[in-house]
Amino acid sequence: GENVEQHPSTLSVQEGDSAVIKCTYSDSASNYFPWYKQELGKGPQLIIDIRSNVGEKKDQRIAVTLNKTAKHFSLHITETQPEDSAVYFCAASGNAGGTSYGKLTFGQGTILTVHP
Amino acid sequence: DTGVSQDPRHKITKRGQNVTFRCDPISEHNRLYWYRQTLGQGPEFLTYFQNEAQLEKSRLLSDRFSAERPKGSFSTLEIQRTEQGDSAMYLCASQDLFYAWYFGPGTRLTVT
């Protein structure tokens, strides 16, 4: 099955700096890569996603890049703000066959702290 | 609020008791998922429904766990004879036609 590795596990930045979180995946058939933000006591919130036919996607201060050859994708947050502090999860999914269809595999998470 | 809702938000139970959780997906989504998340980890897939059909179950879903989705709308997850190892956040998600998953707020289960 799919395996997703996420780094770093913790990331501390000053307000206004950029933050980058990286993930690698193992299943070359994976074709959908979402990123989630999870605040304490809440469920994961979808913040951006990218599909395998696109190399980069941007939404205001958030961008995601995908390198299918190397099987890695990254989340970039620019001009960080204290309210960006949360746990961020990457995930991967594909339509590689009956048993893996529809299953989202998550990375281990990154605790992002933005200091004012 | 038209997002995924879950009930209850918190449940404390004694070991050996049965518990049931409910999930109401976004109304137009026909795919529904259950995930489990333990502290410091990412969510792990448990099971998946398309309409009322349960199409896949993880090996994490022991015989004590059962999930249903009657009429293809809300879903329930029941855990029988709870164990301390069942303590976790149980997350429900529904999926739209563009293949994006939307998660509910979760039910935090504590087994004492």
A65: tokens are 């890049």
Q: Give the whole-angstrom CA distance, residue A69 versus residue A109.
A: 23
Asked if the Cβ–Cβ distance from A108 to B41 is below 8 Å, we say yes
Q: How confident is the model at residue A99 (pLDDT cuts 50, 70, 90)?
A: very low
Asked if the Cβ–Cβ distance from B40 to A99 is below 8 Å, we say no
Q: How confident is the model at residue A98 (pLDDT cuts 50, 70, 90)?
A: very low
User: Which of A35, A59, A104 to mutate to probe the B interface, most B CBs <10 Å?
Assistant: A104
Tens-place pLDDT, residues A18-42: 999 999 999 988 888 999 999 998 9
Asked if the Cβ–Cβ distance from A102 to B44 is below 8 Å, we say no
Concatenated DSSP letters of A1-51: ---EEEE-SEEEEETTS-EEEEEEES-TTEEEEEEEEE-TTS--EEEEEEE
Asked if the Cβ–Cβ distance from B103 to A45 is below 8 Å, we say yes
pLDDT along chain B (112 residues), means of 10: 89 98 92 93 92 88 93 94 96 86 95 97
Asked if the Cβ–Cβ distance from A43 to B105 is below 8 Å, we say yes
Distance from CA of A99 to the nearest CA of B (A): 7
Alpha-carbon dihedral sign for residues B31, B37, B43, B47: negative
What was the pLDDT predicted at A24?
98
What was the pLDDT predicted at A97?
39
What was the pLDDT predicted at B1?
53
What was the pLDDT predicted at A94?
78
Asked if the Cβ–Cβ distance from A102 to B4 is below 8 Å, we say no
Tens-place pLDDT, residues A104-115: 899 999 999 999
> Which residues of A lie closer than 8 Å to B, measured between beta carbons?
4, 6, 32, 34, 36, 41-46, 49, 51, 89, 91, 93, 99, 101-109
What was the pLDDT predicted at B98?
75
Which residues of chain A have a CB within 8 Å of the CB of B43? 44, 89, 104, 106
Asked if the Cβ–Cβ distance from B56 to A49 is below 8 Å, we say no
Q: How confident is the model at residue A101 (pLDDT cuts 50, 70, 90)?
A: low
Tens-place pLDDT, residues A40-93: 989 999 999 998 888 999 999 999 999 999 999 999 999 999 999 999 999 998
Distance from CA of A44 to the nearest CA of B (A): 6
Residue A6's nearest CA partner among A113, A112, A108, A111 is: A108
Listed in sequence order, the residues at least 6 apart from A1 whose beta carbon sits closer than 8 Å to its beta carbon are: A27, A100, A103, A105
- Beta-bridge partners for B108: B10, B89
Of A6, A49, A99, the CB nearest to B56: A99
DSSP secondary structure code for residue A55 in this structure: S
